[in-house]
């Protein structure tokens, strides 16, 4: 580590982490390079596409532009943290059931943005789902099944 490195403490997917990082490292770099969590995709490096969306303290952020140091002391959740005890979340299962992915590159970011929505609003309308996913681009134009999957997951959770 260089002169401008710091110790960082945070929780990632419910696991406490203590790392030494460069002060200019992004959260995406930390997740992918230090922790091996490659589900967080990096595409635009400009907070435009949403492929790198993760949750910090329950809120969606673009990990490609979010400095890792800003996550000090906070809880970070990535797509790898959605499944519990080897079981997919209702949202992940709904993505499979509705074929809500094609190439899959946008899927982790879509899942994280949708997770944030469903945690805040367990019964969203279609328009609310569309609005919540506005910052996430699907280059394969698979929006209809993605929206259907989010609505189905909300319904599944409501009946569970």
Give the model confidence (pLDDT) of 17-49 as tens digits: 999 999 999 999 999 999 999 999 999 989 899
Residues in the chain: 160
Give the separation between CA 90 and CA 39, rounded to whole angstroms: 18
What are the sequence ranges of the domains in the chain? 5-81, 90-159
- The reported pLDDT for the residue numbered 1 is 59
- The reported pLDDT for the residue numbered 157 is 76
Give the separation between CA 98 and CA 22, rounded to whole angstroms: 41
The CATH superfamily label for domain 90-159 reads [2Fe-2S]-binding domain (1.10.150.120)
Tabulate helix, strand, coil % of the chain (nearest 5). 40, 20, 40
pTM: 0.94
What would the two tokens of residue 127 be?
């328009």
* Architecture of the CATH domain 5-81: Roll (3.10)
pLDDT for 90 beyond 80: yes
Give the model confidence (pLDDT) of 127-159 as tens digits: 999 999 999 999 997 899 999 999 999 998 766
């Amino acid at each position: 580590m260089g002169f401008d490195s710091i110790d960082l403490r945070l929780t990632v997917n419910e696991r406490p982490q203590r790392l030494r990082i460069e002060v200019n490292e992004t959260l995406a770099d930390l997740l992918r390079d230090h922790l091996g969590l490659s589900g967080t995709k990096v595409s635009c490096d400009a907070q435009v596409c949403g492929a790198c969306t993760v949750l910090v303290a329950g809120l969606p952020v673009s990990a490609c532009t979010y400095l890792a140091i800003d996550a000090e002391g906070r809880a970070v959740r990535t797509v790898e943290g959605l499944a519990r005890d080897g079981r997919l979340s209702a949202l992940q299962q709904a993505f499979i059931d509705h074929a809500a992915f094609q190439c899959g590159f946008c899927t982790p970011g879509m899942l994280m943005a949708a997770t944030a929505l469903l945690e805040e609003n367990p019964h969203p309308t279609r328009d609310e789902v569309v609005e919540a996913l506005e910052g996430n681009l699907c280059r394969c134009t698979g929006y209809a099944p993605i929206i259907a999957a989010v609505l189905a997951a909300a319904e599944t959770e409501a009946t569970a």
